[in-house]
Structure 1
């Protein structure tokens, strides 16, 4: 554990001496913000100040301590000595927002800058990666030298290099840095940004750059919107209204791979007979072999007749697809191999493994190659037309599926996660009914991003509570169009959802952008409540608020606002709101507080300052500082939600 000194800051530009230590100060002309570097001789540290108050401290990984020289630049200064150089540069200098960069160039060895997650008391952290144990806020997460790329491990399908805190400070790391994260591991209460020349990053260039940016705003909301403006970006459009308003009915969780035409017809007829409709999604095991993009005749003898019939009764039809070709899919595999359409490593090996192949029995299409991406797109477009498919569910996409040490097109410094963005950008061309599950630096795309498969659990081990925390995490790294995973979870290992978790999961989904069923309400006809009628009520409630959801989508497109932010979004200085992880907002006027604890029939609810109308009782709650509703009654039939007046 490091020990910091409290140093009196002198308002001079370059360096001063105080109490035997050297200080270097970066002052912003249009605000009271400043960054002060302190040389403790055994350690180099910088602190961020606003109005004279220290907000954040970071330990610099460098050999400069006690040997520092400095030189002034046009926008800041450079510290150097013993072969190391660190440049501090002002990038934005406004009265309400300041931004600087910290850069090292042509690094040969590894470096590690460690952010103090507990610089001040009651500070909370947000952003970072999607993961299995999705704690929120994120300051208690543990990362052990985690390669910060998209990967199946930890459910890290989204890995944006962006973190911010409740004090109004963000950190954003450039994509060309070979970034690893070590948090609460070697140094408790610190998150270390490690940059090093090691796999899965490029190891063939002997030098690399490491630059990150720090934003200083008035509060978390303001600084996040600046991060959207300068780094995260905003969507260019939004998903289709129909995909928001109408439920999705997937074959996956209920049937797994046991699907054929008869199964589809029975399932579709059940949906209609119980008074529902929407989007019918055919999932895994329809292909002749994985990667063929052809329907198996023994299962689907006339797919076009089937989709025509589904369309005739009001369904849209979508299809599960993936970026792999298995070796036993010989014709397509050989064509892609001969055309160099697969990702290969530096030795030329193209073999990989995914969940539907044995080891070394598949390959991953290289979407960084235009010809390969076009080949995949054109084959899929042909299937779409011939089979009568409206759109697709695009699975996988993480960089961990490629051979380790891949050779990809484009700058090597952005490998391996470049494959993720290339895949997602290729498939996004299929339009506003598309869903993907992975992303890096793809917040601009107008498509749904699905949460990684959730387990039928009540715990934070990828269970129901993480439906909310993952929703918040994705929104607060710039992905507002979140597709929650299937209601009730996936039922893996024969752990099918019971009545209670199914209903509570559905309730938690209502004020999220979309509803996705696989297990169905009529699986619970002998339950303690009328699950079919209850489900219809909540599906209708979601449809009733669809115009509001679409308005939130439009706001995401216009200014980059989150669709489902945490409740502190409307009260950024509220210390209680900053730590709430089991409530969320729809826009800025709807607060949802679903029950996510097994057996619970009541819960405590926190309402930020304002006037709130209870969506169930019609009662109004008013508060200037925020208010707790203790033991709010919520039997299985009740979803607590509130509308801000």
Structure 2
């Protein structure tokens, strides 16, 4: 239509009419970055341009038909039309880093008015939801990182599948961490504000795109009439640079780190091996086996020690004198004893349930019902403590403090915390835009006060907490369906959404369907060796002497590198850097390194390449650019641009790892 184009410059942006479409350009003054918004009539799209090359595009969800118009705002422009108003604002304009935001304000919905006893349906003309679709760059081989913890944990994450996934903490698909942050290999990150009721779609029907939808629907508060949808786009020099800018501006960094004792010596949990069949005799026998086989560390008493679930009181039939037991455990060599805790009270747990309900300590729904369920209750036979109430947090803390004093236990393992365990459509002591994530954040913030031996498993904008975040339960499998390979991919995911203090789940998995065989047990241990902590439940002496000897080798290797792990913990506290980053962290522009998902780094000096494939006695190892010494043979590899070592020999007693010189 237009053989020539017209250019109109107004401060921050340029307007062009060309070939039947309208373009608006948002310019950064201190870099070559710019944002080009193109109105194709049938869709509205913006592109991030660096050095005249498009490095990201996003399709803006709008109403149907018609061109939009642009007007100046204090820091950018406002796009109007198609039943929508979109503000794009420059937030940071530096020579090495640019950042802008995309905002829709006061998105409204249908609601029912009951004025004067007469129900009226009120219809706002504003849009009720909006959806922006991010091009994942499949055609140009862009890799994506970050996102949410999942059962089927791909890494990089462009192959993940989500279908209208409510982006909250929930038990479904192991989504205990769901940070609204995504980073790609071009040095672009997207961070959605926490108060948007966010859903994501990423599946075959939308191949190559991840759509971010803001909509007032359950599990969010559906009664609030309007909400804002705002997200930020950062443009760094590369993926590492962009991530560190995100840490500085959004994700934050830990305020402290776990106790060195949780790193150097193993944690021995009763859960996977004994499940709920625990008592004083079982615990003492387990402890003595550990000592007799030359190990020590932390002993963790897991599920089913209470009179009933929620009593926070030891069952004297199982544990007649818990203080005597913990004294004996300390005496024989366990320097810390921890206890499993959950935030539920079952209905049959009397008088504890009735007393807590009378005090208003439970989550309720709009019909004032507290009924909910968890894995240790029947349907609607439990209640969930509401940690958004200050008095509940204080009451819980007092009970657990008294329990520490009376039992001789040193600290706690806190389970659950996901918002999905509450009754449907529950009410919180929170603003509408904090629903439902404040339940998770208030719970983990409350319990993290118990100190540097604490572990939690859920989180929501809680990267600042100085405690271990435990991977949600892994299955005893070799597959990416929550099996051994996902030990590495989950480690990378958590580190790259700002949680560097990661506690891997139990060696060998939880054994829900089958117990680990010797091969799986030892390969799982090797994969853990350069992660922050070793957590056993199944034990090497249930196999043979070779398993015991190999286990000692890798427990000792982990202890040898504990000073470096602690150094990386301190670095995370100072700068927010990941403790176990992906290998591209030291080669952010290496396209091969970006795709490797079965290797990881400890800091920037150790590269671990565990065997995570059944029956394998060799594997290929990729080394990014640098001088690397083989940790097993001492051989030195010098590479300027990355190097594959094909068929690296890795029998059952070998963990391939390399030290960067």
Per the normalisation by structure 1, the TM-score is: 0.97
Whether 1:191 aligns to 2:210 is yes
Whether 1:642 aligns to 2:658 is yes
**Structure 2 residue matching 1:330: 3-state secondary structure:** coil
Alpha-carbon contact 1:225-1:561 (below 8 Å) kept: yes
- What are the ranges of 5 or more consecutive residues in structure 1 without an aligned counterpart? 1-6
Which string of whole-angstrom CA distances, capped at 9 and with x for unpartnered residues, describes residues 141-186 of structure 1? 1100000000000000000000010000000000110000001243
Alpha-carbon contact 2:38-2:46 (below 8 Å) kept: yes
Alpha-carbon contact 2:62-2:82 (below 8 Å) kept: no
Alpha-carbon contact 1:143-1:185 (below 8 Å) kept: no
Alpha-carbon contact 1:181-1:193 (below 8 Å) kept: yes
Alignment of 1:26-41 (within 5 A): 26-41=26-41
1:3 aligns to what? none
> 2-side partners of 1:351 and 1:287: how far apart?
21
Alignment of 1:575-586 (within 5 A): 575-586=591-602
2:581 aligns to what? 565
2:237 aligns to what? 218
> 2-side partners of 1:427 and 1:537: how far apart?
35
> 2-side partners of 1:28 and 1:311: how far apart?
62
Whether 1:415 aligns to 2:428 is no
Whether 1:66 aligns to 2:66 is yes
> 2-side partners of 1:26 and 1:209: how far apart?
22
- Mark the CA change 1:8 to 1:327 in structure 2 (over 3 Å): closer, same or farther: farther
Alpha-carbon contact 2:29-2:93 (below 8 Å) kept: yes
> 2-side partners of 1:334 and 1:141: how far apart?
44
Alpha-carbon contact 1:56-1:120 (below 8 Å) kept: no
Alpha-carbon contact 1:40-1:65 (below 8 Å) kept: no
- Mark the CA change 1:181 to 1:337 in structure 2 (over 3 Å): closer, same or farther: same
**Aligned-residue offset at 1:411:** 1.3
> 2-side partners of 1:382 and 1:350: how far apart?
27
> 2-side partners of 1:469 and 1:328: how far apart?
40
> 2-side partners of 1:105 and 1:263: how far apart?
59
> 1-side partners of 2:5 and 2:256: how far apart?
49
**Aligned-residue offset at 1:82:** 4.4
> 1-side partners of 2:8 and 2:162: how far apart?
38
**Aligned-residue offset at 1:380:** 1.1
Which string of whole-angstrom CA distances, capped at 9 and with x for unpartnered residues, describes residues 20-65 of structure 1? 1101111001001011110000100111010100001111110175
**Structure 1 residue matching 2:391: 3-state secondary structure:** helix
1:75 aligns to what? 75
> 2-side partners of 1:322 and 1:9: how far apart?
65
Alpha-carbon contact 1:39-1:65 (below 8 Å) kept: no
**Aligned-residue offset at 1:9:** 12
> 1-side partners of 2:325 and 2:640: how far apart?
58
Calculate the aligned-residue CA RMSD, in Å: 1.3
Whether 1:441 aligns to 2:461 is yes
1:597 aligns to what? 613
> 1-side partners of 2:106 and 2:235: how far apart?
27
Whether 1:46 aligns to 2:46 is yes
Whether 1:375 aligns to 2:391 is no
Alignment of 1:100-119 (within 5 A): 100-108=100-108, 109-118=128-137
> 2-side partners of 1:363 and 1:210: how far apart?
33
**Aligned-residue offset at 1:74:** 1.5
Q: Which runs of 4+ in 1 moved over 6 A?
A: 7-11
1:348 aligns to what? 368
Which string of whole-angstrom CA distances, capped at 9 and with x for unpartnered residues, describes residues 391-425 of structure 1? 11100000000111111112111111110000000
Whether 1:206 aligns to 2:222 is no
Alignment of 1:218-367 (within 5 A): 218-315=237-334, 316-367=336-387
Alpha-carbon contact 1:64-1:84 (below 8 Å) kept: no
Which string of whole-angstrom CA distances, capped at 9 and with x for unpartnered residues, describes residues 187-223 of structure 1? 1110000011100001101211100000001110000
> 2-side partners of 1:9 and 1:318: how far apart?
71
1:4 aligns to what? none
- Mark the CA change 1:274 to 1:9 in structure 2 (over 3 Å): closer, same or farther: farther
